[in-house]
Amino acid sequence: MTTKRSGKAPNWKPGQSGNPAGRPKGVGEVAKLRDAIRVHIPAIVERLTVQALEGDVQAARLLLERTIAPLKAMEPTQALTLPDGTLTEQGRAVISAVANGELAPGQGAALVSAIGALARVSEIDELAARVAVLENANAKP
């Protein structure tokens, strides 16, 4: 956004409005609707609860979805001993453990991704060491 006079972007501070005379909070249509409903919320919840207890699945679902966080699938942790060899050998050990049913597929995928990230970090370290050796060899006394 630019100003008309200078052509430069304005320097507003965090929390400062670009339109201080703009619409105040809480006066829009959604705010009015919320205010109108707010007084009826206890009765609505009570009615939904009664309907749910009488077997209304939709009412039960609505209450549960709005009040209880959804359950997330969790895989139990599994100890795995990786070989001390190369990262490739470690990746193969993870894939083998998944194939043999010793490790859940999600855990195997996470471990293979972690091994891949470690490979990239190792590669950067190796390149940095090589560059340092080359710079030292070509440094002028």
Q: Are residues 63 and 96 in the same domain?
A: no
- For residues 88 and 57, is the Cβ–Cβ distance under 8 A? no
Is 72 domain-assigned?
A: no
In a domain, 36, yes or no: yes
In a domain, residue 24? The reply is no
Residue 61 forms part of a structural domain: yes
Which domain covers residue 111, as residue numbers? 87-137
Report pLDDT for 77: 82
Last residue of a domain, one of 7, 38, 67: 67
**Residue 92 and residue 131 share a domain:** yes
39-95, pLDDT tens digit by residue? 999 999 999 999 999 999 999 999 999 889 888 888 788 888 899 999 999 999 999
Integer CA distances (angstroms), 20 to 10, 29, 78, in order: 14, 20, 57
Q: How far apart are CA 114 and CA 87, in angstroms?
A: 10
Does the residue 4 lie in any domain?
no
Q: Is residue 18 part of a domain?
A: no
Query: How far separated are the first and last CA of the chain, in Å rounded?
Result: 54
One domain, residues 133 and 91: yes
Which of 20, 39, 67 is the C-terminal boundary of a domain? 67
How many CB atoms are closer than 10 A to CB 108? 20
Could you tell me if 132 and 103 lie in one domain? Answer: yes
Co-location of 99 and 133 in the same domain: yes
Q: How many domains is the chain partitioned into structurally? A: 2
In a domain, 33, yes or no: yes
pLDDT category, 21, cuts 50, 70, 90? confident
Q: For residue 137, is pLDDT > 80?
A: yes
Residue 43 lies in a domain: yes
| 92 and 62 inside one domain | no
Is residue 1 predicted with pLDDT exceeding 60? no
